[in-house]
Structure 1
């Protein structure tokens, strides 16, 4: 849709053509005029190509193919249209089409397949006419309204197809377990729980905008970055989370136990961010564990009917404002940028062996112990001891000798840092990282029902996870 992408793909030898839509390469917000224009261009393209007799497999740019879907689509030769959906509750446990009678989520046109039949052309034409008559209407909403005009009965012998739209269109709903949404893939890991192989993941059900989508794909090692992404000039910092079993597994899954678990991790990540900032290293984030899911509306902790495990490895954007962390903030007010990478970074085959093998392990020890202060070096090469509760000067003094080491890995972040001695630097750091966390949403039957995460929760005696009591109190904790 945009000339910059067209040119890049052309020179890589990818067959492309110019739609003449004159779209720009800037990120477009959901619901914006540019967003709706992009949707109309998609429908115009469908109408332009179907008359040539070609089958169309269309997808949004915020999804990734994980496996060739063509053999799967060929299993349903009678289908006029096959579409993905926002279904989060499984309706089947194998790789058959979702049961249309049980699908309550919207049909999602981020992934769909069209065959050039008369009834599909009729649907495409009416869809185009409705969109061109109202430039503010959402293309997916119109698609759903049209195909639901008639829905049922099932196509006899159609392997899960249903008559839709005008009563003659044969529609199939791709299984959400293997044509995944951002929820069924990143939160439920439905494909893994059902022992299936996913074909695609669409980064829906997520937060923090395009940056959040990109980070989720990086966590899944499904995003391609240039070589320099995998070798930061200042090196990397990582740590072992060491979450207590009582926080992760014991007791009931409640709002309080969820926040206790997340807050423990926030405190350690805050420490790691401070050390990374002082050492000018890129922080490799730890995996983040949650007990409660995050949505846009009130729910009991996880979505009813889903197979979300508790606790579960939650996407970083459930807790952190990824887009804020990546935003360029004035250094005189917020201190230096703190670069970071996804928790799966070192598992990525694109990270070179030179990086993976250049590691200094840091074992924390009691600063009051004689052995801890005798000598940093241990009998093991590539391993040092470092006293807990060390201040800024100690960090800089010890680790200035290891600037050539690619990865510094702490055995823990618990009590690893006693704080800044440079108060101006500390103030800027606090000003930066307090903006890094977002909200959990939402408590049932409360308005507002969201609760703000607080990077400095432990400095506030009696802190409790509670929604704002009024609109006046509804703001981040800073």
Structure 2
């Protein structure tokens, strides 16, 4: 409930959130208005029905009615910046704005969070503060990307059927070598090496999910570099972004494309997926939580490996480099199990025997990944992720050299 917080500033006519990504305070006071460089964001604000706020509302409305091409947030910022300063008397953090009589406060981005301060910087956790709200800004993949971020944070309310897919779920334990995650400098090369290593495992998981018609629970994704719309040195200087950091799925994947109904004759069947936090969500029903099978990968030659798919204490031992037929057989035997989790996706699947199916699958998942942005002082500065990077021996994380080269790798 933010009302007790708002009540701490009874003199404020308007309290607004902002796109500030560099903290100006480390507690729960209002931002220091003199240091705020980000736009004021109208996604979260509070108005008191004072004469000053009514005058602002009236002028804002008139401005937008007169120019239907003007973005409402730009209009708001233009008006409140007509006068900005001095500070209101006292230690309240308010500033005179608009016409010089409006008392304005800027809500702290650490507890009235943007999509960057919450999902990338984890600012509330780092400053040990309890956030009131998060606004899904600084994100990609449209509305679908916003919704997915909220699902990752377990903030989105889905209907019960979302948590109990008829075909069941497939998950896996991702494997990342310590050197890829932690060693060396944070560069384009080390970032893409880390992401590509994860993409290869996800590619295998998507293939298996497509074969057995299960919903894939995505793994958490790790990044070394932030993603923006403009050139930057890797992370935004002055922010609390850690390296590496758990990055939102829309930093790498085109979530909106993954959810599209693409023509099956060209792209094969749709592959449903869920957010990485799905199996930890308290809304997950008991019948899903308790129906679980672990698939432990093993070497075919090992005496420990069991080709007969017998269960041992809720787990089976399954050979690496399994064929399409072996995968299909495994899941047909255990079709009633709700959650099947692989101990790893490394070398889990040898490949499709049905080449037509493989072609459609490749067409589909090539479109699943997006771009990293952006290299400084280079136009264009973005670099395309490539789901099949490992099939190109000379692949390097370089931006397009010409406009003709500026296209996805398909």
Structure 2: how far apart are the matches of 1:194 and 1:436? 35
Write the distance in 2 (CA, Å) between the matches of 1:375 and 1:211.
41
365, 377, 380: which one aligns with 1:433: 365
The structural deviation recorded for 1:253 is 0.6
Structure 1's consecutive aligned runs of 4 or more residues displaced over 3 angstroms after TM superposition are 373-376
1:214 is aligned to 2:147: yes
Aligned partner of 1:288 in structure 2 is: 221
Correspondent of 2:320 among 388, 391, 412: 388
TM-score by length of 2: 0.99
Bigger relative contact order, structure 1 or 2 (CA pairs below 8 A, ≥6 apart): 2
Measured in 1, the distance between the counterparts of 2:266 and 2:177 equals: 36
The answer on whether the counterparts of 2:307 and 2:319 sit within 8 Å (CA) in structure 1 is no
Partner of 1:223: 156
Match of 2:254 among 293, 305, 321: 321
Provide the rounded CA distance (Å) in 2 between the counterparts of 1:404 and 1:312.
36
1:330 alignment partner in structure 2 = 263
1:451 aligns with 2:403: no
Deviations 1:219-243 (A, max 9, x none): 0000000000000000000000021
* Equivalent in 94, 111, 126 of residue 44 of structure 2: 111
Output the CA distance in 2 between the equivalents of 1:163 and 1:318.
38
1:90 to 8, 19, 23: 23
In the alignment, which residue of structure 2 is the partner of 1:43?
A: none
Residue number in structure 2 paired with 1:189: 122
Distance in 2, Cα, partners of 1:224 & 1:289: 25
Judge conservation of contact 1:78–1:158 (CA < 8 Å) in 2.
no
Map 1:65-104 to 2 at 5 A: 68-104=1-37
The Cα shift of 1:371 comes to 3.4
Structure 2: any 5+ residue segments left out of the alignment?
A: none
- 1:312 paired with 2:249, answer no
Q: Does 1:177 align with 2:110?
A: yes
Q: Residue 49 of structure 1 aligns with which residue? A: none
Cα shift at 1:142: 1.0
Cα displacement string for residues 9-31 of structure 1 (whole angstroms, at most 9, x for unaligned residues): xxxxxxxxxxxxxxxxxxxxxxx
Q: Which residue of 1 aligns with 2:80?
A: 147
Indicate the SS of the match to 2:11.
coil
2:310–2:316: 8 Å Cα contact kept in structure 1?
yes
- Determine if the alignment matches structure 1 residue 157 to structure 2 residue 90: yes
Residues in 1 aligned to 2:233 and 2:15: alpha-carbon distance in whole angstroms: 33
Task: Encode CA deviations 1:73-131: one digit per residue, 9 max, x unaligned.
Answer: 01000001000000000000000000000000000011111111111111111111111
Deviations 1:13-72 (A, max 9, x none): xxxxxxxxxxxxxxxxxxxxxxxxxxxxxxxxxxxxxxxxxxxxxxxxxxxxxxx11111
How far has the Cα of 1:375 moved from its partner?
Answer: 4.2
Structure 1 partner of 2:69: 136
CA apart distance, 1:368: 2.6
CA contact (8 A) 2:400 2:406 kept: yes
Question: 2:307–2:318: 8 Å Cα contact kept in structure 1?
Answer: no
Deviations for 1:248-280, whole angstroms, at most 9, x for unmatched residues? 111111110000000000000000000001011
Structure 1 window deviating more from structure 2 (367-376 vs 307-316): it is 367-376
> For residues 374 and 137 of structure 1, what CA distance do their matches in structure 2 show?
65
**Secondary structure of the structure 1 residue equivalent to 2:16:** strand
State the shift of 1:432 in Å: 0.4
Distance 1:374 1:117, change over 3 A: closer
Partner of 2:339: 407
Match of 2:173 among 240, 246, 249: 240
What residue ranges of structure 1 are gaps of 5+ in the alignment?
1-67
Cα offset, 1:373, TM superposition: 4.5
Residues 256-275 of structure 1 mapped to structure 2, 5 A cutoff: 256-275=189-208
SS of the residue corresponding to residue 305 of structure 2 reads helix
**1:262/1:289 contact within 8 Å kept:** yes
1:299 aligns with 2:299: no
Deviates more, 1:267-276 or 1:367-376: 367-376
For the 8 Å contact 2:221–2:248, the answer to whether it is kept is: yes
Say whether residues 1:122 and 2:61 are aligned partners.
no
How many Å separate the matches in 2 of 1:123 and 1:371?
74
The SS at the match of 1:371 is coil
**Total equivalences in the alignment:** 410
SS of the residue corresponding to residue 449 of structure 1 reads coil
- Please state how far the C-alpha of 1:361 moved relative to its aligned partner: 0.4
Q: Aligned partners of 2:239, 2:64: CA distance in 1, in Å?
A: 34
Shift of 1:374: 5.5
| Aligned: 1:199 with 2:132 | yes
Are residues 374 and 341 of structure 1, via their aligned partners in 2, closer, same or farther at CA, if it must alter by over 3 Å?
closer
Shift in Å at residue 365 of structure 1? 0.5
Question: Aligned residue for 1:3?
Answer: none
